[in-house]
Copies of this chain bind each other. A is one copy, B any other.
Amino acid sequence: MGNNREEQRGDLRKRLIGAAEARIVAGGLEGLKAREVTADAGCALGMLYIVFDDLDRLVLQVNSRTLARLGVALAAAVPEGAAPKEVMAALAQGYLGFALNNFRLWSALFTHRLPHGVAVPEWHKLDHEVLFAQIIAPLGQLRPDLRGAELQQRAITVFAAVHGVVMLALTGRFFATPRNALAGEVAALVDAMMRGLAG
């Protein structure tokens, strides 16, 4: 328990982020209310707007934590010394697994929007590198002709394709992809992309 003011402020910061995360896990992004989260954290309503600028910035903090956890989960999903194609397949399945196991936190990453005209802070943008960082190396092996910005861009595209399949299956309210078919579809997509790329 911190004694001086800085430590107490830091404590409150953590309590607010934790409470917000719990509320999102329990009821999704739209279940996050300023009054509830401050009550959970044991502070007055106004403190939220002193510690963070507004509710949106608090969500950004939760999202950054989720991204960090996602990075760890992806790294853990790749077997040691696997071939590039196997790394890709493992990363895709790891991504799908994380989305399934942390559905509401993962969903908040992509459904949260800042108000019009408000830019995403730079520190938060950088946290999104985990989404494609581990794709770059194996993709570079499959496509030695791609380098630097081009390679990174293609890695983003590969991620986006897998993400699209997972996203539409899990949050799309139209044509339902059955859960038991989802892993197979993701595998088929990655396999096709990799075979086509390496072709």
Which A residues have a C-beta under 8 Å from some C-beta of B?
27-28, 30-31, 110-111, 113-116, 120, 125, 128-129, 131-132, 153-154, 156-158, 160-165, 167-169, 172-175, 177, 181, 185, 188-189, 191-197, 199
Contacts and interface: CB of A to CB of B under 8 A. Distances in A.
A174 B132 CA distance: 12
Copies, count: 2
A174 B109 CA distance: 11
B181 A153 contact: yes
A167 B160 contact: yes
B153 A185 contact: yes
By DSSP majority rule, is chain A's interface helix, strand, loop, or mixed?
helix
A111 to B, nearest CB: 7
